[in-house]
Amino acid sequence: MKERLLVIGGDAAGMAAAAQVRRRTGALEIVALEKGTRTSYSACGIPYLVSGAVHDIGDLVARTPEEFRRARIDVRTEHEVAGIDLEARKAEVHNLAHHRGFHLGFDLLLVATGAEPARPELPGADLPHVHGVQTLDDAAGLLEAAEARRPKRVTVVGSGYVGLELAEAFLERGVAVTVVEAGPEVMGSLDPEMGALVARALRARGITVHVGLPARSISETAVHTDGTDIRADMVILGLGVRPNSRLGADAGLKTGVRDALVVDRQQRTSADGVWAAGDCCQSVHLVSGRPVHQALGTVANKQGRVAGINISGGYATFPGVLGTAVTRVCQTEIGRTGLTEREADGAGYRVATSLIESSTSAGYMPNSSSLSVKLVAEPGSGRLLGVQVVGGPGSAKRVDVVAAALAGKLTVEDLMGLDLAYAPPFSPLWDPLQVAARDLLRRL
């Protein structure tokens, strides 16, 4: 009888691992349980579905359950795992479609339960018109609610990536949008002066932005803050996500930063024969060397691949993360990688920074737009620590150059010497990254 691999979670990490195992071996039976109705989908595409830029929810699905089944992976959707007994090697499973429970044995286990929207402990946060969006089923529910309620006013509480992307999505639907952020500026993943540039772009498009204003409660008609009631027909939680690690933690798996599951470089957990991958587990930051929780689809797919290779008897390691991320909000592109100034200071580095303004192409080109670059480095060694970019079309993906430089532990001087491409439609003669590097060298 074949050994059974049980995969809990049917999105990026879980199905990347399952597919990798099946490609490498036929010796394992693979059962994948997914609480929702879909597998292997792009949650990053949800805001564009809400805005109408993507017309069909099915367009966001990379591989259906039927496709996996044809590859001899037993995918069971609408199956929720309620508990894991690691000693008995069995899982308590609820079939949500048929309202029945059963136990399923396993020999090997991969926990890929992902993340869940961060819900504040606010009175009213569980009201029906309040939506956190993480899965395609969440997106389907949001669209259904939007069609039913026909909101005229939407308030986004928080200003993470998805929250701001959804703010723009509802703006595209002709809805009045307000963003309420407790922090000093929007997008807490950026330093405040860079977040201020994003807030300026939001306001220029007609989105009302309140910063330094924590939400205190939510009612049927408003978000209530200190001294201000912001009317809202629908409320979107844009506070980011937290690891959905309770299932593994309750089974006795070790947890770490933000209660994410602790894994080693091979994605092994603290229990023999049990792996974890994706948004439910932690990673190691390649600059600071510290454990971090990084909820990104790119990371989840890579960790799933590594887990699958190791589960099937091979050897692979996941090197770590840099927090490289990009987005576009109201035609403003935002990118970051490595450590912000605030993060570097918190990690114990002495910090030097440079903040410059430049353009995405030669200034005389008709489509040239402005961009701002903030470069962060360590005085003395000159080691690059991170970069943030905010600007017009053609700005954000410049962070990939610095991501590669950070992986190679390059210095500011090294960045200055890189042979970067130039032509007037793509860049000024001096690339903005190298303008920032030149300015920072003066400070170093």
Residues marked active site are found at: 44
> Which of 207, 206, 186 has its CA nearest to residue 196?
186
User: Does residue 270 share a domain with residue 179?
Assistant: no
User: Does residue 96 share a domain with residue 25?
Assistant: yes
Q: Is 268 helix (H, G, I), strand (E, B) or coil?
A: strand
User: Does residue 417 share a domain with residue 270?
Assistant: no
| pLDDT per residue as tens digits for the range 80-131 | 999 999 999 999 999 999 999 999 999 999 999 999 988 878 899 999 999 9
Q: Give the DSSP letter string of 194-228.
A: HHHHHHHHHHHTT-EEE-S--EEEE-SSEEEETTE
Provide the pLDDT for residue 119: 81
Provide the pLDDT for residue 130: 96
| pLDDT per residue as tens digits for the range 391-424 | 999 999 999 999 999 999 999 999 999 999 999 9
Provide the pLDDT for residue 394: 95
User: Does residue 136 share a domain with residue 104?
Assistant: no
321 inside domain: no
53 inside domain: no
For the whole prediction, is pTM greater than 0.75?
A: yes
Q: How far apart are CA 420 and CA 409, in angstroms?
A: 18
Q: How far apart are CA 90 and CA 7, in angstroms?
A: 12
400 inside domain: yes
Structure token digits, residue 116: 């869940």
User: Does residue 233 share a domain with residue 168?
Assistant: yes
Q: How far apart are CA 359 and CA 362, in angstroms?
A: 7
415: domain CATH number is 3.30.390.30
Domain endpoint, select from 195, 220, 237: 237
21: domain CATH number is 3.50.50.60
Q: Give the DSSP letter string of 19-44.
A: HHHHHH-SSEEEEEEESSS--SB-GG
Q: Which amino acid is at 24?
A: R
48 inside domain: no
CA 431 to chain centre: 28
pLDDT along the chain (444 residues), means of 10: 95 98 97 97 95 95 97 98 98 97 98 91 92 93 94 96 96 97 96 98 97 95 92 94 97 98 98 98 98 96 98 98 96 97 97 98 95 97 98 97 98 97 96 98 89
24 inside domain: yes
Expressed as residue numbers, the domain containing 424 is 332-443
Provide the pLDDT for residue 227: 80
Provide the pLDDT for residue 333: 98
Q: For the chain, what is the domain count?
A: 3
User: Does residue 107 share a domain with residue 253?
Assistant: yes
Mean pLDDT value across the chain: 96
The DSSP output letter for 231 is E
Q: Which run of H or E residues covers position 284?
A: strand 283-284
User: Does residue 394 share a domain with residue 364?
Assistant: yes
User: Does residue 351 share a domain with residue 404?
Assistant: yes
21 inside domain: yes
92 inside domain: yes
User: Does residue 143 share a domain with residue 251?
Assistant: no
User: Does residue 95 share a domain with residue 123?
Assistant: no
Q: How far apart are CA 307 and CA 419, in angstroms?
A: 36
Provide the pLDDT for residue 177: 98
User: Does residue 134 share a domain with residue 96?
Assistant: no
Provide the pLDDT for residue 174: 95
Q: How far apart are CA 120 and CA 326, in angstroms?
A: 25
47 inside domain: no
At a CB cut-off of 8 Å and minimum separation 6, what does 227 contact?
none
User: Does residue 161 share a domain with residue 19?
Assistant: no
